[in-house]
């Protein structure tokens, strides 16, 4: 689906969402009149320092508001901008700032929902989609923390070896199905049905602790994370 179609399906009651320089900003209205903040990335943009700073500023401004309105983050990006200038300016810190801004907004009572409708990779994926409280996707989305050729360069393993490992280990592999199996993607929405109803259903679910490790266990894509996390909590709190 194109972004215009997504917004029309999400907000049949109307929206004021604009895209400039690959950045999405504005708000929409659900059928019951609830306001939803919309902040995100479009057009396969590579996330640079200016983009990260601008998005973080928008999120922090929302976090200061007391209306507890959710933040919807539609995402279609490439990776972080891999330029010498951005790296010298400390792009990693800008990305961390953006991720922490989303976490702060969630703690301040604004649910953060990532909607992956295109691509996203590497640091851009981590600082946006994976930093939201709940991540959903549309069919055709193609997320990857790291693509296999990049993994080959880092690990010095051949692409053939990595492809075989990716078949057996979802946490290791790129792609929407693998990210869903690990629990990182909460659900894949049906574009044939009104997206507004699917968003309303998600908002009706109680917000709570991060349960992505449990989802990964249930979907057999990340079988050990939940048990390890529970043991860490137990060891850290016993006797205290």
- Domains of the chain, by residue range, sit at 3-138+189-208
Which phi and psi (to 5°) does residue 73 adopt?
A: -115, 95
Tell how strand 23-29 and strand 15-20 pair up.
antiparallel
Please tell me the distance from the alpha carbon of residue 171 to that of residue 188, in angstroms, as a whole number.
18
Given CA atoms 96, 19, 117, 200 in this order, what sign does their dihedral have? positive
Residue 66 neighbours by CB distance under 10 Å? 8
Size of the chain, expressed as the number of residues it contains: 240
Locate 108 and state its tokens. 């301040």
SS3 55: helix
- What percent of the chain is predicted at pLDDT more than 90? 62
pTM for the whole thing? 0.89
pLDDT bin (cut points 50, 70, 90) of residue 239 is low
Closest by alpha carbon to 135, among 91, 172, 167, 102?
A: 102
Please tell me the distance from the alpha carbon of residue 195 to that of residue 10, in angstroms, as a whole number.
5
| pLDDT tens per residue across span 168-191 | 777 767 888 888 888 889 999 999
CATH 1.20.140.10 fits 3-138+189-208, yes or no: no
Q: Is 182 exposed, middle or buried (0-12, 13-18, 19+ CB in 10 A)?
A: buried
Please tell me the distance from the alpha carbon of residue 166 to that of residue 189, in angstroms, as a whole number.
24
* Window from 85-89, 119-123, 149-153 with minimum mean pLDDT: 149-153
pLDDT bin (cut points 50, 70, 90) of residue 240 is low
161 has a pLDDT exceeding 90: no
- Per-residue pLDDT, averaged over 108-137, amounts to 94
């Amino acid at each position: 689906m194109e972004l215009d179609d997504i917004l029309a399906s999400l907000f049949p009651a109307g929206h004021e969402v604009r895209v400039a320089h690959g950045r999405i900003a504005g708000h929409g209205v659900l059928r019951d009149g609830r306001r939803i903040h919309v902040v995100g990335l479009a057009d396969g943009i590579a996330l640079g320092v200016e983009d990260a700073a601008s998005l973080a500023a928008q999120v922090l401004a929302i976090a200061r508001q007391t209306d507890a309105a959710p933040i919807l983050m539609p995402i279609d990006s490439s990776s972080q901008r891999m330029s010498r200038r951005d790296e010298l300016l400390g792009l990693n810190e800008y990305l961390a700032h953006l991720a922490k801004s989303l976490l702060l907004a969630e703690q301040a009572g604004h649910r953060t929902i990532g909607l992956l409708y295109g691509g996203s990779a590497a640091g851009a994926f981590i600082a946006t989609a994976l930093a939201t409280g709940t991540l959903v996707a549309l069919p055709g989305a193609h997320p990857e923390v790291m693509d296999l050729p990049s993994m080959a360069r880092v690990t010095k393993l051949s692409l053939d070896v990595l492809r075989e490992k990716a078949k057996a280990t979802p946490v290791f592999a790129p792609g929407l199905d693998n990210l869903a199996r690990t629990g990182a993607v909460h659900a894949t929405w049906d574009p044939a049905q009104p997206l507004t109803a699917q968003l309303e259903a998600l908002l009706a679910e109680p917000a709570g602790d991060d349960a992505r490790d449990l989802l990964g266990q249930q979907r057999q894509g990340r079988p050990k994370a939940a048990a390890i996390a529970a043991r860490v909590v137990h060891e850290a709190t016993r006797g205290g």
